[in-house]
């Protein structure tokens, strides 16, 4: 389905995917009501964002923040040109997601065996086999949603340390062979640096050609936007971020979260990309988070400083 994919993640246009509704809520004590999350989606859509990871297909009892994922999928699906995504951490979740109207299922595998075991309780090979099964099941559906895979710990692992780029390339290759449409390189714990980002993207491109790649960065050690800039320089146009930098990782307690959507949008503008995003309007959506999740720290410079007088 390259035509569909090129429309959704155009290889020459910036696609910023809001992951705060999923990655941003997985560790919080208090999460926005379903209604507030609908407003979050619609207001951020009005500010120009078109890609939303709206939740995760997980058991409703253990994961109340995502119990209404189908409701949000339906809500998002009714908005014109809004591309909805949901995380499917396992086969059961993927089966449920395939029954929904979600436009993209995101599966997960780790670049390190140790983290795959800790995070998913499976060996990498088992996870990759499950991803292949999900692709097979998807092929039997009528609506044929996209399948993407996030490769966690692509730039280093907080359990086992270094990750060789070749391992990431091998995993990405296996995903594409199984029918995955797009792979997201994830710096889950904030180990990446700019040159490393460029190097890994070059390696993946060198081995796999123009297969669609996105990048998922955390600002754990302050280099998130420097790494995003490097990814842009390396030709990646699909980037994850979250409003206010929401997000946490159970493998790095107390750390800062995803890269900040508002500042990322400013970066893209400064670098000369047409984004269609109104950053002031984006900043205004933070109000929902401040009201619904008062205990959460919201990050970001743009929100504090406001617009520059003239964007050169």
CA–CA dist 154, 143 (Å, integer): 31
Task: List the one residue out of 241, 216, 225, 257 whose CA is nearest residue 109.
Answer: 216
Task: Report if residue 308 touches its own copies, rule: CB under 8 A.
Answer: yes
CB of 220 to its own copies, least distance (A): 5
Q: Which of residues 54 and 260 has its CB atom nearest to its own copies in the complex?
A: 260
* Residues 179 to 208 in contact with its own copies, rule: CB under 8 A: 189-196
Q: Kindly tell me which residue out of 254, 274, 294, 295 binds its own copies, with binding defined by CB under 8 A.
A: 254
CB of 219 to its own copies, least distance (A): 6
Provide DSSP, 257-274.
-BPBHHHHHHHHHHTT--
CA–CA dist 243, 283 (Å, integer): 8
Task: Report if residue 312 touches its own copies, rule: CB under 8 A.
Answer: yes
Stretch that binds its own copies, among 3-11, 116-124, 201-209, 266-274 (CB under 8 A): 266-274
Q: Which of residues 66 and 302 has its CB atom nearest to its own copies in the complex?
A: 302
Q: Kindly tell me which residue out of 46, 173, 255, 284 binds its own copies, with binding defined by CB under 8 A.
A: 255
What values do phi and psi take at 290, rounded to 5? -60, -40
CB of 237 to its own copies, least distance (A): 16
Task: Report if residue 166 touches its own copies, rule: CB under 8 A.
Answer: no
- Residue that is written with structure tokens 């994919």 in the block: 5
Q: Which helix (H) or strand (E) holds 110?
A: strand 104-110
CB of 312 to its own copies, least distance (A): 5
Indicate the DSSP class of residue 297.
P
Mask of contacts with its own copies, 137-156, x by CB under 8 A? ------------------xx
User: Cβ distance 251 to 115 under 8 Å?
Assistant: yes
Annotated catalytic residues are: 249
Q: Which helix (H) or strand (E) holds 116?
A: helix 113-120
User: Cβ distance 104 to 145 under 8 Å?
Assistant: yes
Task: Report if residue 25 touches its own copies, rule: CB under 8 A.
Answer: no
Q: Which of residues 60 and 287 has its CB atom nearest to its own copies in the complex?
A: 287
DSSP-derived 3-state class of residue 119:
helix
Task: Report if residue 221 touches its own copies, rule: CB under 8 A.
Answer: yes
Task: List the one residue out of 236, 251, 256 whose CA is nearest residue 13.
Answer: 236
CB of 184 to its own copies, least distance (A): 20
Question: What number of H helices and E strands is found in the chain?
Answer: 12, 8
Q: Kindly tell me which residue out of 120, 217, 225, 288 binds its own copies, with binding defined by CB under 8 A.
A: 225
Q: Which of residues 140 and 304 has its CB atom nearest to its own copies in the complex?
A: 304
CA–CA dist 225, 163 (Å, integer): 21
Binding site for its own copies (CB under 8 A): 155-163, 189-196, 219-226, 228-230, 252, 254-256, 260, 262-264, 266-267, 269-272, 300-302, 304-305, 308-310, 312
């Amino acid at each position: 389905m390259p035509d569909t994919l090129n429309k959704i993640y155009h290889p020459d246009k910036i696609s910023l995917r809001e992951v705060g509704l999923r990655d941003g809520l997985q560790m919080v004590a208090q999460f926005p009501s379903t209604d507030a999350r609908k407003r979050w989606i619609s207001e951020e859509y009005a500010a120009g964002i078109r890609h939303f990871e709206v939740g995760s297909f997980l058991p409703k009892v253990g994961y109340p923040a995502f119990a209404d994922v189908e409701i949000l999928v339906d809500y998002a699906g009714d908005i014109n040109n809004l591309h909805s995504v949901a995380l499917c951490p396992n086969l059961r979740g993927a089966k449920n997601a395939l029954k929904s109207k979600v436009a993209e299922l995101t599966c997960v595998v780790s670049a390190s065996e140790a983290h795959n075991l800790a995070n998913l309780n499976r060996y990498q090979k088992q996870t990759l086999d499950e991803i292949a099964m999900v692709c097979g099941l998807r092929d039997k559906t009528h609506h044929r949603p996209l399948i993407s895979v996030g490769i966690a710990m692509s730039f280093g692992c907080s359990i086992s340390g270094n990750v060789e780029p070749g391992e990431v390339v091998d995993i990405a290759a296996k995903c594409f062979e199984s029918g995955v449409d797009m792979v997201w390189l994830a710096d889950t714990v904030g180990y990446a640096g700019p040159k490393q980002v460029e190097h890994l993207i070059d390696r993946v491109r060198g081995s796999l050609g123009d297969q669609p790649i996105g990048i998922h960065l955390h600002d754990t050690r302050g280099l998130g936007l420097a790494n995003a800039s490097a990814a842009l320089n390396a030709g990646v146009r699909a980037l994850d971020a979250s409003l206010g930098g929401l997000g946490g990782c159970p493998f790095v307690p107390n750390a800062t979260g995803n890269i900040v959507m508002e500042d990322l949008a400013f970066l893209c503008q400064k670098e000369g990309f047409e984004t269609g995003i109104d950053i002031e309007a984006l900043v205004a959506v933070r109000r929902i988070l401040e009201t619904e999740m008062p205990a959460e720290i919201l990050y970001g410079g743009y929100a504090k400083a406001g617009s520059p007088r003239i964007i050169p």
